[in-house]
Structure 1
């Protein structure tokens, strides 16, 4: 969008607003409105900048009557190194699309009010409402604190707000008022940092408020003084909270543990808060795994939620649990499905629950019949469906593939046929020469059938030779679905002339729970053989340039890269590891969610009598560096607290001391991911510069120099 036109549109919207005070607040920012950017495309070729020209669809919400869909689209400005999301609405059949907001701030957490007369959303920590026709936009919260999430009661007369609340003193200003320029944290227990944030004594709390007219009034903390988060950090949202249909009870997810207990357990629970007496009770005692995402049936007689059976294991199957409300027996109703159901959605009559679940490493839509407790798969194919909602007799979901960014689809529950409604990126995609992809099944060394995605360059010609890139997926668990990625963009890699091989090696979660469980305490063993089986199979193809094969991976995939560097025996010409685990022994005491390494490794590295743990640590990549002789690039974010950046530094330093060709790319402001536009483009340029050098340009690795004495 032309910047001047964008500013004019923003001014026009402000003039249409009813509240002049809100107009002043909206216009107070000195940032520009970001719309769809212009991107230069020559001969259909796809440079990295195209990834930042796509509109990113999110925050999909269907109106209570099922006739309209509200959603956000985020666009990015590379020069400004930021993006903003604006609010849109369309009819449930994809017609009558309308942009409702044009602001330099982002609209998020979009949800229809229960009466369907307005759409609610957050902007700069405040709650706003707007009519579906774009009129009557107004700020409806006046509280001083920043709001992180909200959930209206079914009748619309009350609301829950998620507000960060200071509970503990652990920062310099809290401890010594005269040292206002000091920068320090003081801790006495574990879990002092999480994901990319140091603990500052604030926790997500739920506040109950009254809604008078449009305004939110009289908010009260329903977790006063508790040093716990709801929703659970770092990624929990309002899907972890539910109102009973009569508005008398709030069920919320919380992990009421601290310090060492929090670090070594996954035990989140469900709690019920009764508005009448302000009492809270535990609903899920003696259930040591994750319990989360509660939902009431439409008649309020049944509570549905997701639950993992095994404590300490974050990749266990997510069971669909039901309980007759309020004190009935808890029952797993998903035993017949060897997959983790998610995005659960009741039908109004309470007879069916729609959901998504991964089958053969792709998320499909299912219908669960409550009476017979049986599942019926509605969709098939090489796509990913997420976030299912009802719109009349159709389902609304987001859909991606390896070469298609997220769009909003309507799905016929009878035929499974999907129709693209939003079409945000249709025009841009039409200008590109697009890669193609397929799902293959590769026979592993132990005679199993493994899903392997293969992505081919545009205008693929089987009479030519193509360099190969092997993707070593992270996790080590997680569904290796055909989702669209902006960081590990197989579409972009294939567009640069590579065939990309993506094996769902042992440990991925879309091929059944037994397959997922197989990697724990067996790192670098059968999972590595699976990776090699896939790339060896592809290298048998006449179009595969088996002399120019590279491998890449992040997180546990980085572990795989560091491990392969010591074991591959000349298969690969270049490696790239992002936020990878180099030293498993040092990873154990330096990560933050310590339950993960405790489970995956089987115990602590200093427990020499623990044969399971000692066997796991014997496969740590740092023990195999004597065999390193292949060029390797190492990327890490300094704000990565999951796999601390010292892991990347240690790997790079080791490579340099061994005389192995290597490169280090450090992002001081990024975490486990690369999220900002300019950093991401820099990462992609360095990525292709590195692999092109060894896989396309014919450069041969230099002989490793012996370290000086």
Structure 2
């Protein structure tokens, strides 16, 4: 996805990064070419990091009101400029007449059809801050309609389009300069409560949602629906406009909020769905007494019902994501997925009786249809891929799909038989030049007599008569599925392209295999899930095409914890390890992290509670307790803006390895958080990843 003018060479592949558009821009990025679709030449069919970063990243499908058109975005990457740019496209519902309707240096986001399909509204920072704009469906006549101080993070038009709901950040808490105005250059932060930082930022602003009037050309300043309440709406760090919804009559807004702050916020996941009356300004809690996460409300077309996702238990962020529906007249609740032992996501009403959604079942994420009153669940699609989102177009769903071997593309799905037809073909030219490795589904026996789905990815041009090094991939989360995912950092086909057999187990603690399988990992870090990992790699090591003397192990976050733990408990199976953003010292992690509900649930409690045998078992299994048994080269990667798992965890692990005399390398990013977001840092990670493993496994 880059639009760069340099040629990048790595291995046998060449990326010629001349872009489709060559116009120049005349602003703060003067003389930089527009970032657009890359032209890529791949030799020998082998993927490299530069090829991986050349894919167009398709997202956010919007079906026009008359069901004739599809609006979507594609993000492109420039490695040279070390940035991304998102452009907008339209096409007919059958994939014909594809058009790029924007060509700018500023990304267009949150694009939706408005005014009956006569206009497209979107966010752009073209004027200096993120504001709402409108344009014709062909991209012409761009007009800014908002001028909100501080910018807009997301928006939604009311059904009659006379009001606009928008999200903007407001100041949170008292700053040092407020307390001591005579010390304007003092950089110290005065902290009196928990949740002073979250994932990747200091909490000095929080999002609030506002309702503004709109006369068809300009938007007024808005009314804060939370008033002076000091709570997030939507919720940090990942919530957006999907956490709010207009009622069909435009008289109410349902919104998601966890009305807690400080320590109470840090200890609880109890969010609720609130109904705000626009005329009276009155707010009603629809989910009072439901103690876990309640998020993402969606009204039925007739406005009589509201659906949402609900977790049952407070403090458990990976509880089963259930589908609930409430009758807004009687307040009766229906647990629609009561007999469905899997998570639900991306709910969308088909009619007043049924709801489409996506769910991961046995490591594949598919489209489903739920019938509200009968609680019948029908699976629409099948196959080795994941659907992530969709729009409804009559008897079709226009959906985004990816797999372990292909990035996002848009498909038309027949809701009767599940047949899917690709529409977008954004990455056809690159995919057509690549040789992808075979992806195999294996069910491997575990130590407690169960079967575990494990994805095996073979190198391109695989020869069963040769012996290959193998990499065990350890998933993070810890409760995030190893499905048919496509990643720009943990790309299993990239690993295979470098000559490795990739072993990716759906070990204990991952969704898609029922609640019992999912929940086993809680309070059992270093337990059965580690045995599952060893079962997977041991089974593959017996294959004649795997070099059992050249095994590596890698992962991030909880996957990084897994790497550190296995480094002290692998009985010389592995010859090299690599961990990113992993937990090394669990006792330190308990006091360093921000979301205390996570640590309390997963670890069982604090390390100073000596009477808590479950918690004490968790801390006894901390990776740092096994450092004396480390005997294998290890590489550590971490971002210093990671406030979920502090960079000190990686530094401790690196220091421990060096002090033990073990070959070690550390890749530290001063300007990255729990992820690696900047293109050149991503390329750097890939290059160092393979330089490290190639040294010890080849």
Alignment of 1:115-134 (within 5 A): 115-124=116-125, 125-134=130-139
Partner of 2:15: none
- Structure 2 CA distance for aligned equivalents of residues 459 and 380 of structure 1: 27
1:115 aligned counterpart, secondary structure = helix
Is the CA contact 1:640–1:671 (under 8 Å) kept in the aligned structure 2?
A: yes
Partner of 1:622: 624
- Structure 2 CA distance for aligned equivalents of residues 317 and 384 of structure 1: 19
How many angstroms does 1:638 deviate by?
A: 0.4
Change in CA separation of 1:49 and 1:303 when aligned onto 2, cut-off 3 Å: same
1:262 aligned counterpart, secondary structure = helix
Alignment of 1:87-166 (within 5 A): 87-113=88-114, 115-124=116-125, 125-166=130-171
How many angstroms does 1:224 deviate by?
A: 1.9
How many angstroms does 1:330 deviate by?
A: 2.0
Q: Which is worse superposed, 422-431 or 114-123?
A: 114-123
Count of residues in correspondence between the two structures:
679
Counterpart pick for 1:338 among 337, 341, 346: 341
How many angstroms does 1:129 deviate by?
A: 1.0
- Structure 2 CA distance for aligned equivalents of residues 29 and 54 of structure 1: 23
Is the CA contact 1:455–1:501 (under 8 Å) kept in the aligned structure 2?
A: yes
Q: Does 1:251 align with 2:254?
A: yes
Alignment of 1:591-602 (within 5 A): 591-602=593-604
- Structure 2 CA distance for aligned equivalents of residues 42 and 657 of structure 1: 43
How many angstroms does 1:471 deviate by?
A: 0.4
How many angstroms does 1:40 deviate by?
A: 4.7
Alignment of 1:126-275 (within 5 A): 126-170=131-175, 172-200=176-204, 202-275=205-278
How many angstroms does 1:130 deviate by?
A: 1.5
Q: Does 1:302 align with 2:305?
A: yes
1:362-407 deviations in Å (ceiling 9; x for gaps) = 1111111224210011111110011122012211111010110011
1:150-187 deviations in Å (ceiling 9; x for gaps) = 011111111101011124212x3333223222222211
State the 4+ residue runs in structure 1 displaced beyond 6 angstroms.
Answer: 2-8
Q: Normalized against structure 2, the TM-score is what?
A: 0.95
Is the CA contact 2:411–2:420 (under 8 Å) kept in the aligned structure 1?
A: yes
Partner of 2:323: 320
How many angstroms does 1:210 deviate by?
A: 1.1
Is the CA contact 2:59–2:74 (under 8 Å) kept in the aligned structure 1?
A: yes
How many angstroms does 1:272 deviate by?
A: 1.1
1:562 aligned counterpart, secondary structure = helix
Partner of 2:85: 84
- Structure 2 CA distance for aligned equivalents of residues 418 and 551 of structure 1: 36
Is the CA contact 1:382–1:439 (under 8 Å) kept in the aligned structure 2?
A: no
1:494 aligned counterpart, secondary structure = helix
1:583-632 deviations in Å (ceiling 9; x for gaps) = 11111111011110100011100000111111111111111111100001
- Structure 2 CA distance for aligned equivalents of residues 672 and 247 of structure 1: 39
Is the CA contact 2:121–2:134 (under 8 Å) kept in the aligned structure 1?
A: yes
Counterpart pick for 2:650 among 648, 651, 668: 648
Partner of 1:14: none
Is the CA contact 2:19–2:35 (under 8 Å) kept in the aligned structure 1?
A: no
- Structure 2 CA distance for aligned equivalents of residues 33 and 279 of structure 1: 48
Change in CA separation of 1:326 and 1:639 when aligned onto 2, cut-off 3 Å: farther
Counterpart pick for 1:446 among 427, 445, 448: 448
How many angstroms does 1:327 deviate by?
A: 4.6
- Structure 2 CA distance for aligned equivalents of residues 185 and 326 of structure 1: 48
Q: Does 1:526 align with 2:528?
A: yes
Partner of 1:434: 436
Q: Does 1:57 align with 2:62?
A: no
Partner of 1:276: 279
Is the CA contact 1:10–1:102 (under 8 Å) kept in the aligned structure 2?
A: no
- Structure 2 CA distance for aligned equivalents of residues 140 and 672 of structure 1: 35
- Structure 2 CA distance for aligned equivalents of residues 107 and 640 of structure 1: 27
- Structure 2 CA distance for aligned equivalents of residues 544 and 571 of structure 1: 13
Unaligned runs of 5+ in 1: 12-25, 697-709
Partner of 1:364: 366
- Structure 1 CA distance for aligned equivalents of residues 87 and 209 of structure 2: 26
How many angstroms does 1:27 deviate by?
A: 6.2
- The Cα RMSD (Å) is 1.6
Alignment of 1:380-529 (within 5 A): 380-529=382-531
1:296-334 deviations in Å (ceiling 9; x for gaps) = 110000111010001100000011111111451222111
Partner of 2:10: none
Change in CA separation of 1:554 and 1:695 when aligned onto 2, cut-off 3 Å: same
How many angstroms does 1:214 deviate by?
A: 2.8
Change in CA separation of 1:394 and 1:648 when aligned onto 2, cut-off 3 Å: same
- Structure 2 CA distance for aligned equivalents of residues 327 and 668 of structure 1: 54
1:614 aligned counterpart, secondary structure = helix
Is the CA contact 1:574–1:694 (under 8 Å) kept in the aligned structure 2?
A: yes
Change in CA separation of 1:569 and 1:2 when aligned onto 2, cut-off 3 Å: closer
- Structure 2 CA distance for aligned equivalents of residues 380 and 278 of structure 1: 46
